[in-house]
Amino acid sequence: MAVVEASPGPLLLLDGDLQVVAVSGSFLDAFGIDADTARGRPLASLGGGEWASPKLRSLLQATRSGAATIAAYEMDLERSGQPARQLVIHAQRLDYLDLENVRLLVAIADVTDARADEAARALAMRENLVLLQEVRHRVANSLQIIASVLLQNARKSGSTETRGHLKDAHHRVMSIAALERLLAGSGEDRVELHAYFTELCGSIAASMIADPDLLSLVVEGGRGVVDSRVSVSLGLIVTELVINALKHAFPDNHRGKIVVACDFRGANWTLTVTDDGVGLPTDPALVRTGLGTSIVQALAQQLQATVEITSANPGVCVSIDHTHIALVDSAPAPPSLTGRAAQSK
């Protein structure tokens, strides 16, 4: 009895007639019941009769007979002049050698405030999500305007080189804009890469491939989901490598194909951009480094990935490889980017 009375959580010990044998001080405090009016009285008569629930009585009787156990019975406690409380009740029959004196131990948890907090948190999360989507929507709109300005500047420029730079910048902005649109639509902070790359490459192809019958740009694999922070970097890398291949791999209406692929192996992944174009320049003097190269190098480093360029016979394959296990054991090797991919400016 002393254990029950000292319990920090509301606790009742009932006899076989569902009369109170012992009650915890926490129960009396929580439900506004006078100690003197509780002990020896039927549970149903406690307080203003709010415990006289037929369903509770029926469940307690079933527990007493051993036919059932109340694991988590939920009930609303209605008291005159007070807001209802949401309770979760657990009851256990205590078996003694004295079979004549059945005892039931009843634990009551008042989950009203916890449920209200939970509902408030869920509401706040929903509101935050709506707010986040609205922010992303506005960011995407702003990026659309920036991309439009870059395109207008490119049109007005008299310099072919400047025009090229501005169009490249336009593609970079659009790669991030496309991602923002996907994020705004998904309601999550993760992106399915195949859909993203397909959209991205579709836009680049529409603006840079003059004859789709001659030159194709396809996306393979990539059936994986990554965080938005990773996907924005991967999108920019794909943009740079695809633009670079379109500019340099297929001179003089060379027929060909560019394949963007992403292969997932658990936490590890490999992004490859492969073309079947003219391949790496044989003259080292033709190898130059530019903004595109710097962007790929920097983003690969940020992603803790390595960059490898190999001959695809014909053409070139650029691999961006992220090996999570290697990162735990040792620092990643600094990415090296040489060859044709370094020609972009």
Partner 1 sequence: MTGYERDARGQGASTLLIVEDEILAAMALRDELEDAGYRVMDLTGRWQEALAAVKDCKPDLALVNIRLHGRDDGIVLAEDLKAQGIPVLFISGQESRARSAQTAAIGSLPKPYSVADMVVAVAYLLAHLKGDDSLPRPATLEVFDHEANGTPRAA
Question: Closest approach of Cβ 176 to partner 1, in Å?
Answer: 9
Q: Provide the mask over 199-218, with x wherever binding to partner 1 is found by CB under 8 A and - wherever it is not.
A: x--xx--xxxxxxxx-----
Give yes or no for a cis peptide into 314 (omega within 30° of 0).
yes
Taking the C-alpha atoms of residue 275 and residue 283, their distance in angstroms, rounded to an integer, is 20
Window 258 to 297, contacts with partner 1 (CB under 8 A): none
Task: Select 92 or 203, whichever has its Cβ closest to partner 1.
Answer: 203
Question: Closest approach of Cβ 301 to partner 1, in Å?
Answer: 28
Question: Closest approach of Cβ 152 to partner 1, in Å?
Answer: 5
Q: Which of 148, 162, 310, 336 binds partner 1 (CB under 8 A)?
A: 148
Q: Which of 131, 135, 149, 267 binds partner 1 (CB under 8 A)?
A: 149
Task: Select 109 or 151, whichever has its Cβ closest to partner 1.
Answer: 151
The answer to the question of residue 137 lying near partner 1 (CB under 8 A) is yes
Q: For partner 1, how many residues bind (rule: CB under 8 A)?
A: 32
The answer to the question of residue 71 lying near partner 1 (CB under 8 A) is no
Reading the block at residue 60, the tokens are 């307690």
Task: Select 69 or 148, whichever has its Cβ closest to partner 1.
Answer: 148
Task: Select 114 or 214, whichever has its Cβ closest to partner 1.
Answer: 214
Reading the block at residue 50, the tokens are 């709010």
Task: Select 151 or 225, whichever has its Cβ closest to partner 1.
Answer: 151
Q: Which of 56, 91, 104, 143 binds partner 1 (CB under 8 A)?
A: 143
Window 214 to 253, contacts with partner 1 (CB under 8 A): none
Task: Select 240 or 321, whichever has its Cβ closest to partner 1.
Answer: 240
Window 163 to 192, contacts with partner 1 (CB under 8 A): 174, 177-178, 180-181, 184-185
Question: Closest approach of Cβ 177 to partner 1, in Å?
Answer: 4
Question: Closest approach of Cβ 186 to partner 1, in Å?
Answer: 11
Window 9 to 68, contacts with partner 1 (CB under 8 A): none
Q: Which of 198, 216, 294, 319 binds partner 1 (CB under 8 A)?
A: 198
Beta carbons of 291 and 297 less than 8 angstroms apart: no
Question: Closest approach of Cβ 204 to partner 1, in Å?
Answer: 8
Stretch that binds partner 1, among 43-51, 97-105, 140-148, 280-288 (CB under 8 A): 140-148
Task: Select 112 or 186, whichever has its Cβ closest to partner 1.
Answer: 186
Task: Select 101 or 152, whichever has its Cβ closest to partner 1.
Answer: 152
* Alpha-carbon separation of residue 228 from 98, 183, 197, 202, 345 (angstroms): 65, 8, 13, 20, 27
Question: Closest approach of Cβ 209 to partner 1, in Å?
Answer: 7
Reading the block at residue 243, the tokens are 């633009």
Closest CA to 61 of 23, 93, 109: 93
Give φ, ψ of 192 to 5 degrees.
-85, 115
Sign of CA dihedral 47, 51, 52, 57: negative
Q: Which residues bind partner 1 (CB under 8 A)?
A: 137, 140-141, 143-145, 147-149, 151-152, 155, 174, 177-178, 180-181, 184-185, 195, 198-199, 202-203, 206-213
